[in-house]
Chain A
Amino acid sequence: MNEKGEERSAEELHTILEEHKNHGKGLIPILLEVQKEFGYLPKEAMKKVAEVLGIRPVDVWGVATFFNQFRLTPLGKNHIKVCMGTACHLAGGRLVLEALERELKIKVGETSDDGHFSLERVACIGCCMLAPVMVIKDKIYPKMSSFKAEESLIPYRQESKPED
């Protein structure tokens, strides 16, 4: 993140916490908002949240590491979620996940070194009739297979090249 971005995010964090003071929001909604702004939960931001709520940082950390929704590292530019719900599992979701791990050379939960891709397994996105499903940047790819998953990466790879 560039300096300007950081400044803007710090401001945004301030706004989120100020708003909390006025509305008495719970910890989870605050962390969700912080994550929406930063893309993940930076340690500094979590400390700040603890300070404002008057709770120990470890309690914020406890919640941040408990719930699946929270991430402690930044996501890649193209975030890929592979559904591992029951229907997707039966339809071969694991092969899709393995194909992506192989192709992107990262493991589930990691972000590629160049920051272009990150890979996550999610429990169910509720599109069981389209199983197995993966999601790249909010676009749903239905009825995947290892081969189709590899092919779906092509446009994202090309788009990321000019910036290298």
Chain B
Amino acid sequence: MIFEEIRKRAVDQWEALRNETHILVGAATCGRAAGALDVIDAFKNECSRQGLDVPIIPVGCIGLCYAEPLVIISKPESLRIAYHNITQDFVPRLVEGYIMGDDPCLELALGTFETDDREVPYIPELPRFEHELRIILRRGGYIDPENIHHYIANGGYGSLEKALRMAPEQIIEEIKKSGLRGRGGAGFHTGLKWESCHHANGTPKYVVCNADEGDPGAFMDRIILESDPHEVIEGMIIAGYAVGAQKGYIYVRAEYPLAIDRIRNALRQGEEIGILGENILGSGFCFHIGIAEGAGAFVSGEATALVAAMEGRRSEPRLRPPRLAEAGLWGLPTLLNNVKTFAYVPFIIGSGIDEFTSIGTEKSKGTAVFTLAGKIQSPGLAEVPMGTTLRSVVYDIAGGMLNEKQFKAVQIGGPSGGCIPESLLDIPIDFDSLREAGSMMGSGGMIFMDENDCAVDTARFFLDFTAKESCGKCTMCRMGTLQLLSILDDITTGKAKMEDLELLRQLSEDIKMGSLCGLGRSAPNPVLTTLRYFADEYRAHILEKRCPALVCKDLIAYYILPEKCDRACEHCILVCPTEAIKGGKGEIKVINQEKCSKCGTCLEVCPPQYCAIIKISPICNLPPITIEKGDSAEGG
């Protein structure tokens, strides 16, 4: 079938949907965690109870994690409204109110997609969207990821059709001119990679999509695959055509079952309508894509390690050169790009390089996609033009810090990245500025920290992760990260000396030099950046045995403020797992520090009207225990 016919059929189907009332429910993994599947069931039940035949479509994610489960109700000749934090209980109200009636249920609405003079906020004008610019996330959450026609009706596969009419060299030239840099973290020029694979000798060639998102705290690749899988597939087919490959693989973590399902379904549909497989769109070009399941190893994100895993071996990186473009999967030329990198390709080919290069900075073109998590108001997914400042991401897009706490730092790029402090909030986000600040774009996970987060403990957390995930090939990485971890352990438990700081710094530099792959070379980044920007905290831990953020367990003590303790309340006593709290009915409660395991449960259950339990650091600052009425805490 020629593409025009395919497109026409898709547009007809899409228009038909838009002309009837329908419900979209955000049901990516995050939406499901928030209860989206129950909401879908509730809509089905309610609609059938009311005798309504309304399509209820599970879609992907529009990136507003804080608003999940998110529901969009479209009515022809009426407003298309998004509703946030919808649980089953709200479903009858929405069905009776807006689907059957004319009441837009504004109290539940996030906003509308059409300008309107009623009191519904206009979504594109929400502060968040004013600062975002969506290229690869633009369809996510608005189309059915399991229906290829939705993708095609919204511009999908038009770029493939265009690319197949171009010469492969011409496509590579376009990608080079666009300045697109790999979104896997290192920022290598995509066009150059394609070019060397194109020129490499050896057949067959392979195209591999790296969807092994291993950074704890990053999930944008998963969301793209769950929300708009065809976008990535289209990019891969164009890449295959440009480099001369006939076979592609998407290497995706087994931990992402929904993404795998949606890719599998998308591939099947692509083959059915002739966009994938033999003789694509009558061009004579053949390209097949398979799924390679990964089994969870952070190091597999490294290109050569990923190939090793695909070949059924331990995921250990090897020395480069030869580059994968010359000798990759099964020793054959292989083009390996990240999910997001492929996702930009259809846009660049379809809209032209000028459109793409007009966005971003001189050396970092286009947009950057981040997951925003940690102590912020509105966690979620954001796509911003390169060059946007971190300050704008925190305060305009993420809605500022949670509970109006003080911003302390943002960790960008997970365990490979670094902590960036308040003083650098005005640096622009691009590959090079972040590197200068000691961090990196990395996977694109941003975790925001406030005054209650300890810089040393955070560095320890990341080192604990990288030490576990080191594949063990290079001694400096295998033993060095363990050594860093043990020094950090000493610091967080108050056993370190000041000389240890120099040792940390020196060892970090050595690990960077003595490791083969990105895992080892970037593992010390969290230590180096926290040492650079939060040296005071390190000193407080070592010299005063004090954790300023009251996090490090061995340096804090729980204490019940006698003047605030309500004598009649016994919440803390009932939950204490070690029976460390003493005090009978009508007495002030006291914690026996020797028995206390510092689990924090008492602080959690102490009723908010009292807030009698606090954390104290250093421990030597604990007030002397005063016991009332004979019964002594020590006596227990």
A28 located at the interface, meaning its Cβ lies under 8 Å from any Cβ of chain B in the complex: yes
A147 located at the interface, meaning its Cβ lies under 8 Å from any Cβ of chain B in the complex: yes
Our pick among B219, B255, B471, B601 for the contact of A128 (Cβ within 8 Å) is B219
- The answer to whether A86 and B374 have CB atoms under 8 Å apart is yes
Q: How far does the Cβ of B578 sit from chain A's closest Cβ, in whole Å?
A: 9
Our pick among B34, B215, B255, B577 for the contact of A102 (Cβ within 8 Å) is B577
Q: How far does the Cβ of B558 sit from chain A's closest Cβ, in whole Å?
A: 12
Task: Known A90-B375, A129-B66; judge A85-B217 contact (CB<8 A).
Answer: yes
A95 located at the interface, meaning its Cβ lies under 8 Å from any Cβ of chain B in the complex: yes
B562 located at the interface, meaning its Cβ lies under 8 Å from any Cβ of chain A in the complex: no
- The answer to whether A98 and B599 have CB atoms under 8 Å apart is yes
Among the 9-residue stretches A9-17, A67-75, A111-119, A153-161, the one with 4 or more Cβ atoms under 8 Å from chain B is A67-75
B410-425 interface code vs A (CB 8 A; 1 in, 0 out): 0100100000000000
B543 located at the interface, meaning its Cβ lies under 8 Å from any Cβ of chain A in the complex: no
- A32-48, CB < 8 A from B: 32
A60 nearest CB neighbor, chain B only: B312
B295 located at the interface, meaning its Cβ lies under 8 Å from any Cβ of chain A in the complex: yes
B115-133 interface code vs A (CB 8 A; 1 in, 0 out): 0000000000000000000
A78 located at the interface, meaning its Cβ lies under 8 Å from any Cβ of chain B in the complex: no
Query: Count of chain A residues with Cβ under 8 Å from any Cβ of B?
Result: 44
B585 located at the interface, meaning its Cβ lies under 8 Å from any Cβ of chain A in the complex: no
- Tell me which residues across on chain B come within 8 A of A27, comparing CB atoms: 312-313
- The answer to whether A32 and B599 have CB atoms under 8 Å apart is no
- The answer to whether B214 and A123 have CB atoms under 8 Å apart is yes
- The answer to whether A99 and B33 have CB atoms under 8 Å apart is no
- Tell me which residues across on chain B come within 8 A of A129, comparing CB atoms: 30, 65-66, 68, 373, 379-380
Which of A70, A84, A128, A133 has the most chain B CB within a 10 Å cutoff? A128
- The answer to whether A68 and B373 have CB atoms under 8 Å apart is no
Our pick among B33, B379, B414 for the contact of A86 (Cβ within 8 Å) is B414
Q: How far does the Cβ of B193 sit from chain A's closest Cβ, in whole Å?
A: 24
B308-328 interface code vs A (CB 8 A; 1 in, 0 out): 011111110000000000000
- The answer to whether A67 and B313 have CB atoms under 8 Å apart is no
B262-306 interface code vs A (CB 8 A; 1 in, 0 out): 000000000000000000000000000000111111100000000
Our pick among B255, B295, B314 for the contact of A31 (Cβ within 8 Å) is B295
A104 located at the interface, meaning its Cβ lies under 8 Å from any Cβ of chain B in the complex: no
B380 nearest CB neighbor, chain A only: A129
B458 located at the interface, meaning its Cβ lies under 8 Å from any Cβ of chain A in the complex: yes
Count the A-B residue pairs with Cβ separation under 8 angstroms: how many?
135
A31 to B373, CA, bound (A): 33
- Tell me which residues across on chain A come within 8 A of B414, comparing CB atoms: 86
Which of B66, B313, B414, B575 has the most chain A CB within a 10 Å cutoff? B313
Task: Known A67-B297, A131-B373; judge A126-B601 contact (CB<8 A).
Answer: no
Q: How far does the Cβ of B369 sit from chain A's closest Cβ, in whole Å?
A: 14
B465 located at the interface, meaning its Cβ lies under 8 Å from any Cβ of chain A in the complex: yes
A69 to B310, CA, bound (A): 15
B388-432 interface code vs A (CB 8 A; 1 in, 0 out): 000000000000000000000001001000000000000000000
A162 located at the interface, meaning its Cβ lies under 8 Å from any Cβ of chain B in the complex: no
- A78-112, CB < 8 A from B: 84-87, 89-90, 92, 95, 98-99, 102-103
A52 located at the interface, meaning its Cβ lies under 8 Å from any Cβ of chain B in the complex: no
B447 located at the interface, meaning its Cβ lies under 8 Å from any Cβ of chain A in the complex: yes
- The answer to whether A70 and B295 have CB atoms under 8 Å apart is yes
A140 located at the interface, meaning its Cβ lies under 8 Å from any Cβ of chain B in the complex: yes
Q: How far does the Cβ of A10 sit from chain B's closest Cβ, in whole Å?
A: 23
B445 located at the interface, meaning its Cβ lies under 8 Å from any Cβ of chain A in the complex: yes
- The answer to whether B461 and A86 have CB atoms under 8 Å apart is yes
A92 to B293, CA, bound (A): 31
A62 located at the interface, meaning its Cβ lies under 8 Å from any Cβ of chain B in the complex: yes
Q: How far does the Cβ of A17 sit from chain B's closest Cβ, in whole Å?
A: 14
- The answer to whether A128 and B313 have CB atoms under 8 Å apart is no
A128 to B599, CA, bound (A): 22
- The answer to whether B453 and A29 have CB atoms under 8 Å apart is no
A67 to B214, CA, bound (A): 12
A57 located at the interface, meaning its Cβ lies under 8 Å from any Cβ of chain B in the complex: no
A70 to B294, CA, bound (A): 11
- The answer to whether A29 and B601 have CB atoms under 8 Å apart is no
A29 to B312, CA, bound (A): 9
- Tell me which residues across on chain B come within 8 A of A140, comparing CB atoms: 33
- The answer to whether A26 and B312 have CB atoms under 8 Å apart is yes
Our pick among A63, A90, A123 for the contact of B313 (Cβ within 8 Å) is A63
Our pick among A85, A92, A145 for the contact of B216 (Cβ within 8 Å) is A85
Our pick among A85, A98, A142 for the contact of B34 (Cβ within 8 Å) is A142
A128 to B217, CA, bound (A): 7
Our pick among B214, B255, B312 for the contact of A28 (Cβ within 8 Å) is B312
- Tell me which residues across on chain B come within 8 A of A18, comparing CB atoms: none
- The answer to whether A146 and B294 have CB atoms under 8 Å apart is no
Q: How far does the Cβ of B461 sit from chain A's closest Cβ, in whole Å?
A: 5
Task: Known A128-B379, A145-B604; judge A68-B599 contact (CB<8 A).
Answer: no
Task: Known A67-B297, A90-B374, A147-B604; judge A102-B599 contact (CB<8 A).
Answer: yes
Given contacts A85-B216, A86-B447, list 12 more A-B pairs with CB under 8 A: A28-B292, A53-B312, A67-B297, A69-B254, A86-B373, A90-B374, A95-B600, A123-B465, A124-B215, A124-B219, A128-B217, A147-B575
Which 10 A/B pairs are nearest by Cβ-Cβ distance? A27-B312, A128-B373, A67-B295, A126-B219, A85-B216, A124-B216, A69-B295, A68-B296, A86-B217, A129-B379
Q: List 15 A-B contacts (CB under 8 A).
A: A27-B313, A28-B292, A68-B295, A86-B373, A86-B374, A86-B447, A87-B379, A99-B599, A122-B255, A124-B217, A128-B217, A128-B379, A128-B447, A145-B601, A146-B601
Residues of A within 8 A of B (CB): 26-29, 31-32, 53, 55, 59, 62-63, 66-70, 84-87, 89-90, 92, 95, 98-99, 102-103, 122-131, 133, 140, 142, 145-147
